[in-house]
Chain A
């Protein structure tokens, strides 16, 4: 399949991507970014009931995906 519009992949410029080497601090930073993102989304769910329902759903999803990753249940 050929590129359309004669486009090729451009070079990424310095500073666009964080190439920080692996460290606990880096992982904590990335995890915190997810926490703030999820928190922001929770405030947009539309009420306490919706928020609680969604939290239960998320925990269930987390457990299910862990079991899939471990190969204990099939990915359906």
Chain B
């Protein structure tokens, strides 16, 4: 779908999705053995206030060894994903709303595997709102503006994955215009 913006991608076209969805209960069992203290708050608090915590397995291609030891089966599954960049559990407490933001156009796609999903929690990508379903994957382009919320009665948790998009799948990225020192750390800034 080169040259146009696609909001959600057909998850079935990615081979690893079937593996994850087949073993989603194993992943959830490992998740349930984790404590609240294993999660840490996502640093961009200006986007959500409080209530968004993560448990990282891979961060920007770096293996978070101590966390991976706590979730061996999940680690084994995510390590089979071609082009994996980041992986981990993303937790959203009731009443949390992550404001609209966009990721860096890095040629990545984001996959959410629903693990614990209350009613009233959903994700907006572009103009399209979708809810997660337990045991099912949603795939979208993180570089498209998106926001998420949990208006449910318990915490929503998904397995979050960033992986390199297969060639030709993403629209052509816009070349950044900024130069100089401001651009040096510009990639960290969410718009």
**Interface residue ranges, A against B (CB under 8 Å):** 1-5, 7-10, 12-13, 15-18, 20, 30, 33-34, 36-37, 40-41, 43-47, 50, 54, 57-58, 61, 65-66, 68-71, 75-76
Contact = CB atoms under 8 A, between A and B. Distances in A.
B56 A13 contact: no
Nearest to B50: A16
A37 B44 CA distance: 10
27 contacts: A3-B122, A4-B122, A9-B124, A9-B129, A10-B149, A12-B97, A16-B48, A16-B97, A16-B99, A17-B46, A17-B48, A17-B99, A30-B43, A30-B44, A30-B46, A37-B42, A41-B59, A44-B67, A45-B62, A45-B64, A45-B66, A61-B61, A66-B187, A69-B183, A70-B183, A75-B105, A75-B106
B64 A41 contact: yes
Nearest to A34: B43
Nearest to B42: A37
B131 A5 contact: yes
A4 B130 contact: yes
A29 to B, nearest CB: 9
A71 B66 CA distance: 37
Given A33-B44, A44-B66, A1 B7 contact: yes
B63 to A, nearest CB: 8
Interface size class of B (residues with CB under 8 A): 35 or more
Nearest to A50: B65
Interface of B: 7-8, 40-49, 56, 59-69, 95-97, 99, 104-107, 119-120, 122, 124, 127-131, 147, 149, 151, 173, 175-176, 178-179, 183-184, 186-188
The secondary-structure label for the interface of chain A is loop
Contact of B62 (A9, A33, A57): A57
